Amino acid sequence: MILSNKHLAEVFFTKLKYNLKSEASKTYLGYIWWVLEPCLYIAVLFLVFGVFRARGGNEFVIFLVCGKIPFLWFSKSVSNSAMSILTGRGLINQVAISKAFFPLLVVAQDLVKQVFAFVLMFSLLIWFGLSPNFNWLLVTFVMITQLLLTIACALVAASITPFLPDFRFIVATGMILLMLMSGIFFDYKQVVLKEHHHLFLLNPMANLLENYRQVLMDGNSPDWLALGLIALTSTFVIYLMLLLYRKLDTKYAMMLSQ
Protein backbone atom coordinates (compact mmCIF):
# COMPACT_ATOMS: atom_id res chain seq x y z
CA MET A 1 0.00 0.00 0.00
CA ILE A 2 1.37 3.41 -1.04
CA LEU A 3 0.32 6.49 0.95
CA SER A 4 -0.37 9.84 -0.70
CA ASN A 5 1.16 12.95 0.82
CA LYS A 6 -2.20 13.83 2.37
CA HIS A 7 -2.61 10.40 3.95
CA LEU A 8 1.03 10.42 5.04
CA ALA A 9 0.47 13.71 6.89
CA GLU A 10 -2.67 12.27 8.50
CA VAL A 11 -0.77 9.18 9.64
CA PHE A 12 2.07 11.35 10.96
CA PHE A 13 -0.12 13.56 13.14
CA THR A 14 -2.30 10.65 14.24
CA LYS A 15 0.73 8.68 15.38
CA LEU A 16 2.20 11.81 16.97
CA LYS A 17 -0.95 12.30 19.05
CA TYR A 18 -1.22 8.60 19.92
CA ASN A 19 2.45 8.25 20.87
CA LEU A 20 2.34 11.29 23.16
CA LYS A 21 -0.76 9.98 24.93
CA SER A 22 0.71 6.50 25.16
CA GLU A 23 3.99 7.78 26.62
CA ALA A 24 2.19 9.91 29.20
CA SER A 25 -0.02 6.97 30.24
CA LYS A 26 3.02 4.84 31.09
CA THR A 27 3.83 6.90 34.20
CA TYR A 28 1.71 7.80 37.22
CA LEU A 29 2.60 11.47 36.78
CA GLY A 30 1.59 11.51 33.11
CA TYR A 31 2.18 14.84 31.39
CA ILE A 32 3.63 16.34 34.59
CA TRP A 33 6.71 14.18 34.04
CA TRP A 34 7.58 16.22 30.94
CA VAL A 35 8.26 19.19 33.23
CA LEU A 36 9.42 17.29 36.30
CA GLU A 37 12.19 15.41 34.48
CA PRO A 38 14.25 18.49 33.50
CA CYS A 39 13.64 19.89 37.00
CA LEU A 40 15.23 16.80 38.53
CA TYR A 41 18.24 17.00 36.19
CA ILE A 42 18.82 20.64 37.11
CA ALA A 43 18.35 19.93 40.82
CA VAL A 44 20.97 17.15 40.76
CA LEU A 45 23.47 19.28 38.82
CA PHE A 46 22.90 22.21 41.15
CA LEU A 47 23.43 19.95 44.17
CA VAL A 48 26.70 18.56 42.79
CA PHE A 49 28.20 21.68 41.25
CA GLY A 50 26.40 24.45 43.09
CA VAL A 51 26.26 23.13 46.66
CA PHE A 52 28.98 20.51 47.06
CA ARG A 53 31.46 22.61 45.07
CA ALA A 54 30.28 25.88 46.67
CA ARG A 55 29.30 27.50 43.38
CA GLY A 56 25.70 28.13 44.42
CA GLY A 57 23.54 31.16 43.95
CA ASN A 58 20.85 32.31 41.58
CA GLU A 59 23.30 33.14 38.82
CA PHE A 60 24.62 29.59 38.72
CA VAL A 61 21.09 28.13 38.68
CA ILE A 62 20.26 30.37 35.72
CA PHE A 63 23.47 29.28 34.01
CA LEU A 64 22.52 25.61 34.47
CA VAL A 65 18.95 26.11 33.30
CA CYS A 66 20.05 27.82 30.07
CA GLY A 67 22.39 24.94 29.32
CA LYS A 68 20.74 21.76 30.54
CA ILE A 69 17.19 22.22 29.25
CA PRO A 70 18.20 22.90 25.62
CA PHE A 71 20.80 20.11 25.74
CA LEU A 72 18.25 17.61 27.08
CA TRP A 73 16.08 18.34 24.06
CA PHE A 74 18.91 17.56 21.65
CA SER A 75 20.24 14.48 23.44
CA LYS A 76 16.85 12.85 24.00
CA SER A 77 15.65 13.46 20.44
CA VAL A 78 18.78 12.04 18.82
CA SER A 79 19.00 9.10 21.22
CA ASN A 80 15.30 8.27 20.82
CA SER A 81 15.57 8.53 17.03
CA ALA A 82 18.38 5.98 16.80
CA MET A 83 16.02 3.00 17.09
CA SER A 84 13.03 4.62 15.40
CA ILE A 85 13.23 2.73 12.10
CA LEU A 86 13.62 -0.63 13.83
CA THR A 87 10.68 0.05 16.14
CA GLY A 88 8.61 1.10 13.11
CA ARG A 89 9.02 -2.33 11.54
CA GLY A 90 5.30 -3.13 11.86
CA LEU A 91 4.15 -0.10 9.85
CA ILE A 92 6.96 -0.52 7.33
CA ASN A 93 5.81 -4.06 6.57
CA GLN A 94 2.26 -2.82 5.94
CA VAL A 95 2.70 0.30 3.81
CA ALA A 96 5.27 1.84 1.49
CA ILE A 97 6.51 4.73 3.59
CA SER A 98 9.71 6.75 3.65
CA LYS A 99 11.91 5.55 6.48
CA ALA A 100 12.71 9.18 7.31
CA PHE A 101 9.13 9.29 8.63
CA PHE A 102 10.18 7.55 11.84
CA PRO A 103 13.05 9.74 13.11
CA LEU A 104 11.06 12.83 12.08
CA LEU A 105 8.13 11.54 14.13
CA VAL A 106 10.37 11.12 17.17
CA VAL A 107 11.76 14.64 16.75
CA ALA A 108 8.19 15.99 16.52
CA GLN A 109 7.17 14.14 19.70
CA ASP A 110 10.12 15.52 21.63
CA LEU A 111 9.47 18.99 20.20
CA VAL A 112 5.96 18.96 21.70
CA LYS A 113 7.37 17.94 25.08
CA GLN A 114 10.11 20.54 24.79
CA VAL A 115 7.51 23.31 24.62
CA PHE A 116 6.62 22.48 28.23
CA ALA A 117 10.32 22.37 29.14
CA PHE A 118 10.90 25.81 27.62
CA VAL A 119 7.92 27.20 29.55
CA LEU A 120 9.64 25.81 32.66
CA MET A 121 12.95 27.36 31.61
CA PHE A 122 11.52 30.85 31.17
CA SER A 123 9.57 30.52 34.43
CA LEU A 124 12.73 29.57 36.33
CA LEU A 125 14.72 32.43 34.79
CA ILE A 126 12.09 34.92 35.92
CA TRP A 127 11.78 33.23 39.33
CA PHE A 128 15.52 33.57 39.92
CA GLY A 129 15.62 37.24 39.08
CA LEU A 130 15.95 37.80 35.34
CA SER A 131 13.66 40.40 33.79
CA PRO A 132 12.28 39.55 30.33
CA ASN A 133 13.25 41.98 27.58
CA PHE A 134 12.69 42.36 23.85
CA ASN A 135 15.85 40.42 23.03
CA TRP A 136 14.35 37.32 24.62
CA LEU A 137 12.22 37.02 21.47
CA LEU A 138 15.46 36.47 19.53
CA VAL A 139 15.98 33.17 21.31
CA THR A 140 13.38 31.80 18.86
CA PHE A 141 16.07 31.84 16.17
CA VAL A 142 18.40 29.87 18.43
CA MET A 143 15.62 27.30 18.98
CA ILE A 144 14.93 26.99 15.25
CA THR A 145 18.63 26.49 14.58
CA GLN A 146 18.78 23.81 17.26
CA LEU A 147 15.73 22.10 15.74
CA LEU A 148 17.48 21.90 12.36
CA LEU A 149 20.61 20.49 13.99
CA THR A 150 18.50 17.97 15.92
CA ILE A 151 16.69 16.80 12.77
CA ALA A 152 19.99 16.38 10.92
CA CYS A 153 21.60 14.34 13.71
CA ALA A 154 18.42 12.29 14.26
CA LEU A 155 18.30 11.34 10.57
CA VAL A 156 21.96 10.31 10.66
CA ALA A 157 21.58 8.21 13.83
CA ALA A 158 18.41 6.49 12.59
CA SER A 159 19.97 5.68 9.20
CA ILE A 160 22.86 3.75 10.73
CA THR A 161 21.13 1.71 13.45
CA PRO A 162 19.26 -0.73 11.12
CA PHE A 163 22.64 -1.83 9.75
CA LEU A 164 24.39 -1.70 13.13
CA PRO A 165 21.87 -2.06 16.00
CA ASP A 166 24.56 -1.56 18.64
CA PHE A 167 25.11 1.93 17.25
CA ARG A 168 22.47 3.11 19.74
CA PHE A 169 25.00 2.48 22.53
CA ILE A 170 27.55 4.62 20.69
CA VAL A 171 24.94 7.37 20.45
CA ALA A 172 24.21 7.14 24.19
CA THR A 173 27.92 7.31 25.06
CA GLY A 174 28.43 10.12 22.58
CA MET A 175 25.73 12.18 24.28
CA ILE A 176 27.51 11.87 27.63
CA LEU A 177 30.77 13.01 26.07
CA LEU A 178 29.00 15.83 24.24
CA MET A 179 27.41 16.98 27.49
CA LEU A 180 30.84 17.22 29.11
CA MET A 181 32.21 19.11 26.10
CA SER A 182 29.38 21.62 25.68
CA GLY A 183 29.84 23.82 28.75
CA ILE A 184 26.59 22.97 30.51
CA PHE A 185 27.99 23.40 34.02
CA PHE A 186 31.10 25.49 33.33
CA ASP A 187 31.77 28.77 31.58
CA TYR A 188 34.18 27.98 28.75
CA LYS A 189 35.54 31.55 28.93
CA GLN A 190 36.90 30.77 32.40
CA VAL A 191 38.01 27.19 31.76
CA VAL A 192 39.23 27.04 28.16
CA LEU A 193 42.36 28.94 27.12
CA LYS A 194 41.46 32.07 25.18
CA GLU A 195 43.33 30.92 22.10
CA HIS A 196 41.17 27.78 22.07
CA HIS A 197 37.76 29.48 22.40
CA HIS A 198 37.10 29.24 18.66
CA LEU A 199 37.88 25.52 18.75
CA PHE A 200 35.47 24.96 21.65
CA LEU A 201 32.71 26.76 19.75
CA LEU A 202 33.17 24.48 16.73
CA ASN A 203 31.01 22.12 18.76
CA PRO A 204 27.57 23.23 17.49
CA MET A 205 25.82 22.43 20.77
CA ALA A 206 28.38 24.41 22.78
CA ASN A 207 27.84 27.27 20.35
CA LEU A 208 24.06 27.09 20.68
CA LEU A 209 24.20 27.00 24.49
CA GLU A 210 26.43 30.06 24.43
CA ASN A 211 23.83 31.78 22.25
CA TYR A 212 21.01 30.85 24.64
CA ARG A 213 22.95 32.42 27.51
CA GLN A 214 24.00 35.41 25.45
CA VAL A 215 20.36 36.21 24.70
CA LEU A 216 18.65 35.21 27.96
CA MET A 217 21.29 36.01 30.58
CA ASP A 218 23.14 38.93 28.97
CA GLY A 219 20.20 40.41 27.04
CA ASN A 220 22.25 40.57 23.83
CA SER A 221 21.56 39.49 20.27
CA PRO A 222 22.74 36.00 19.30
CA ASP A 223 25.74 35.38 17.10
CA TRP A 224 23.93 35.55 13.76
CA LEU A 225 26.92 34.28 11.78
CA ALA A 226 27.27 31.20 13.98
CA LEU A 227 23.54 30.49 13.86
CA GLY A 228 23.54 30.90 10.09
CA LEU A 229 26.43 28.49 9.61
CA ILE A 230 24.88 25.86 11.89
CA ALA A 231 21.48 26.23 10.22
CA LEU A 232 22.87 26.04 6.67
CA THR A 233 25.07 23.05 7.47
CA SER A 234 22.20 21.26 9.20
CA THR A 235 19.85 21.95 6.28
CA PHE A 236 22.43 20.58 3.83
CA VAL A 237 22.86 17.43 5.93
CA ILE A 238 19.07 17.00 6.12
CA TYR A 239 18.87 17.25 2.31
CA LEU A 240 21.64 14.69 1.83
CA MET A 241 20.08 12.32 4.36
CA LEU A 242 16.66 12.49 2.68
CA LEU A 243 18.34 11.56 -0.60
CA LEU A 244 20.14 8.69 1.14
CA TYR A 245 16.89 7.45 2.70
CA ARG A 246 15.27 7.44 -0.72
CA LYS A 247 18.19 5.50 -2.20
CA LEU A 248 18.23 2.92 0.61
CA ASP A 249 14.45 2.65 0.96
CA THR A 250 14.19 -0.80 -0.65
CA LYS A 251 17.19 -2.08 1.28
CA TYR A 252 15.69 -0.97 4.61
CA ALA A 253 12.39 -2.65 3.71
CA MET A 254 14.14 -5.92 2.83
CA MET A 255 16.17 -5.91 6.05
CA LEU A 256 13.17 -5.22 8.25
CA SER A 257 10.98 -7.86 6.58
CA GLN A 258 13.39 -10.66 7.46
Q: Does residue 19 or residue 100 have the better pLDDT?
A: 100
What pTM was computed for the model?
0.85
Half-sphere exposure of residue 25: CA atoms within 13 angstroms, side-chain side: 6
Whether the per-residue pLDDT at 145 is higher than 80: the answer is yes
Type of residue found at 93: N
In sequence order, what are the residues at sequence separation of 6 or more whose Cβ sits closer than 8 angstroms to the Cβ of residue 44? none
The DSSP secondary structure of 2-30, one letter per residue, reads B--HHHHHHHHHHHHHHHHHHHHHTSTTG
Whether the per-residue pLDDT at 248 is higher than 80: the answer is yes
What is the distance between the terminal CA atoms of the chain, rounded to a whole angstrom?
A: 19
Most confident residue range from 67-71, 103-107, 144-148, 194-198:
144-148
Helix (H, G, I), strand (E, B) or coil at 96: strand
Type of residue found at 149: L
Tell me the percentage of the chain whose pLDDT exceeds 90. Answer: 40
Q: What is the pLDDT of residue 242?
A: 94
Report angle CA 58, 64, 66 to the nearest 5 degrees. Answer: 105
Q: What is the pLDDT of residue 11?
A: 64
Q: What is the pLDDT of residue 49?
A: 59
Whether the per-residue pLDDT at 236 is higher than 90: the answer is yes
pLDDT category of residue 32 using cuts at 50, 70 and 90: low
Instruction: Measure the CA–CA gap between 253 and 43, rounded to whole angstroms.
Output: 44
Instruction: Measure the CA–CA gap between 73 and 151, rounded to whole angstroms.
Output: 11
Q: What is the pLDDT of residue 170?
A: 93
Instruction: Measure the CA–CA gap between 74 and 107, rounded to whole angstroms.
Output: 9
Helix (H, G, I), strand (E, B) or coil at 57: coil
Helix, strand, coil shares, percent, the chain, to 5: 80, 0, 20
pLDDT digit string, tens, across residues 113-138: 888 889 888 888 888 888 888 889 99
pLDDT digit string, tens, across residues 73-110: 999 999 999 998 888 777 776 777 788 888 999 999 98
Q: What is the pLDDT of residue 12?
A: 66
CA distances from 194 to 83, 205, 221, 243 (A): 39, 19, 22, 40
Whether the per-residue pLDDT at 156 is higher than 60: the answer is yes
Q: What is the pLDDT of residue 129?
A: 82
Question: Do 217 and 130 touch, CB atoms closer than 8 A?
Answer: yes
pLDDT digit string, tens, across residues 170-188: 999 999 999 889 988 888 8
pLDDT digit string, tens, across residues 184-224: 888 888 888 888 899 999 999 999 999 999 999 998 999 99
